[in-house]
Chain A
Amino acid sequence: MLFTSQVWIDYAYARRPLSWPRAFLVALVDWELWALATPLVAWLCARVPFSRARWGVPLAIHVPAGIALGGLKLFLDAMLTSLIVGPGRPGPFSFLKIHLTLLTYWGIVAAIHVMRHYRVARAQELRAAQLEIELARAQVEALKMQLHPHFLFNTLNTVAGLMRDDPDAAELMLAKLAELLRRTLETADVQELGLDEELEFIEAYLTIQRLRYGDRLRVSIDVSDAARQARVPSLILQPLVENAIRHGVAEKPGPGRVEIGARLDGAELVITIANDGPSLPVTVREGYGLRNTRSRLLALYGARGSFSFGPQSGGGAVVGLRIPCSREAEAG
């Protein structure tokens, strides 16, 4: 109504009165043309968006594009309007309309950018929330592992056993148990840390398990110096190493081997954890450890991270992590 009366008044003022329906059509054409042009503007905004860092090139493209599109729009507008109001001079003020047209063009560009920012911000918030949830879960699980009755009481029993015969070993075991608990509590809100730190955590855990199982548990760790500097999600290895020991050693009589390896492959960090336990059944139900690892990698790295799990040739199982590599130095 507003735009129709505007058109009606404009034409009345130019002494070419229009009927209301025609005035309505003229107003409609004006806005329909913008509606048609909007996807084109949106496409252009997606290709050359304005950002704080980059505005020169977008400006160089959007200014001529605005003028061209505005001109085209005015031309089509004039053609269609003359069809509606009859031949003769195009509607009044058509020459002045170029300013208004350019303003509208930039108005659409601005609206698209605002919407885009809003969407990106929402997605980031969502992702951050997701990550926090996954980290919280990993922490709870790490704590549960340490407070897992079997682990805790067996560890304490080993300490009781070592106390008289080997006080040094008993002391070491208590210190490592304390270290495990402390590190878990300290990583409370750290999403990522250096692989070397994560390995120290694993070492503390392995020291305890080695004292418990004696010769039965054989562990080899093969991590390149470059890989040690890479950053990994905090507490990501522990559930996997725990799995490897539980299935590879604890469920199998005789000695068992766990191999932990990490190396850089181009811009990716590749981590493998293998055991030589009983061969896997054809189908495996994914336990908590595997599920959480998978969803954390997905939340942190999206398609850039990957996780694999399967039988190893010659028995046992192997898990593999592949994550985009960021050095500690770069992360500050």
Chain B
Amino acid sequence: MTLRALVVDDEPVARRRLKTLLAAEQTDVIGECETGEQAIEAIERLRPDVVFLDVQMPGLDGFDVVDALEPGSHPDIVFVTAYDRYAVRAFDVHAVDYLLKPFERARLRKTLERLSARSDAREARRRVHAAVESVRAQRPLRRVLVKGSGRIYAVRVEDIDYIEVAGHYVELYTGATTHLVRETIGSMEARLDSSRFVRIHRSVVVNIDRIRELRPAFHREFVVVLHTGHELRCSRTYADRLTKAMAS
């Protein structure tokens, strides 16, 4: 049975090379995408057997694509990357398929052989998610994936003014717009760069680059004034940490 493959890479020459090589290995390339957004849509629509997924892409990257997929039923994933030490280590640890650019034919052939010999697709999927999770845990978050109604998009962390708890969700405030993400504020804070994002209240994490000034208030609390003019309360418990973070 020939494999039906989807190729995802933002560089046209890189896509073409992969397509040519795959065709030579009797693999059927049923589509190609240049962004993560297109990839998510194409995976749903085309239901390929395998996706060759570039890790580094503008907008949603390869890991975001994996995050957005239904964990139980998506195709095999082969990551493709030019260079990414953390990711490659995680791929090795979790025995996930990957290709390093530029790769040889022989390496691609080996990957394809492994794919067709694979008996447990569910186990493979689990390993892909575990690898992505461990990469995420190792480095500060750069973008937050937002699953809106009918579309998935990414918010750059440097665009976030502050984050506030909203029931079982957190709300990201970016200028005039807000984005709802299903995550706890604690886990969100842990994933963010701690020199930039600081907890100022039980339910608020603020981007310290957006703070215009602090106004001392009662009980050693602060009113935090953002560049947008928005005011937030910094409770006593977090006041020390905030002033320290702002001074560094």
Name the A residues within 8 Å of B183 (CB-CB): none
Instruction: Determine whether the beta carbon of B102 is less than 8 Å from that of A150.
Output: no
Instruction: Determine whether the beta carbon of A165 is less than 8 Å from that of B20.
Output: yes
Name the B residues within 8 Å of A283 (CB-CB): 209-210, 227
Instruction: Determine whether the beta carbon of A253 is less than 8 Å from that of B102.
Output: no
Other-chain contact of B83, A150, A158, A285 (Cβ < 8 Å) = A150
Instruction: Determine whether the beta carbon of B56 is less than 8 Å from that of A212.
Output: no
Residue in B closest to A252 when the chains form the complex, CB atoms: B58
A283 CA / B209 CA spacing, docked (Å): 6
Instruction: Determine whether the beta carbon of B101 is less than 8 Å from that of A153.
Output: yes
A152 CB, min distance to chain B CBs, angstroms: 8
Instruction: Determine whether the beta carbon of B13 is less than 8 Å from that of A214.
Output: yes
The count of chain B contact residues (Cβ–Cβ below 8 Å) is 26
1-54 of chain A: CB within 8 A of chain B: none
A285 CA / B157 CA spacing, docked (Å): 13
Question: A157 at the A/B interface (Cβ < 8 Å)?
Answer: yes
Instruction: Determine whether the beta carbon of B102 is less than 8 Å from that of A157.
Output: yes
Name the B residues within 8 Å of A150 (CB-CB): 56, 82-83
Other-chain contact of A157, B17, B37, B228 (Cβ < 8 Å) = B17
74-109 of chain B: CB within 8 A of chain A: 82-83, 100-102
Question: A57 at the A/B interface (Cβ < 8 Å)?
Answer: no
A152 CA / B209 CA spacing, docked (Å): 33
Question: B11 at the A/B interface (Cβ < 8 Å)?
Answer: yes
Other-chain contact of A156, B34, B37, B102 (Cβ < 8 Å) = B102
Residue in B closest to A169 when the chains form the complex, CB atoms: B13
Q: Tell whether A250 pairs with B102 under 8 Å between CB atoms, given A214-B11, A285-B209.
A: no
Instruction: Determine whether the beta carbon of B209 is less than 8 Å from that of A160.
Output: no
Question: B16 at the A/B interface (Cβ < 8 Å)?
Answer: yes
Of the listed residues B10, B37, B56, the one surrounded by the most CB atoms of chain A closer than 10 A to its CB is B10
Other-chain contact of A281, B83, B101, B209 (Cβ < 8 Å) = B209
Instruction: Determine whether the beta carbon of B102 is less than 8 Å from that of A153.
Output: yes
Question: A149 at the A/B interface (Cβ < 8 Å)?
Answer: yes
Q: Which residues of A contact B (CB under 8 A)?
A: 149-150, 152-154, 156-162, 164-165, 211-216, 249-253, 278, 281-283, 285
Q: List 24 A-B contacts (CB under 8 A).
A: A150-B83, A152-B83, A153-B82, A153-B100, A153-B101, A153-B102, A154-B11, A156-B101, A156-B102, A157-B11, A157-B101, A157-B102, A158-B14, A160-B17, A160-B102, A161-B16, A165-B16, A212-B13, A213-B10, A214-B11, A216-B10, A250-B10, A283-B210, A283-B227
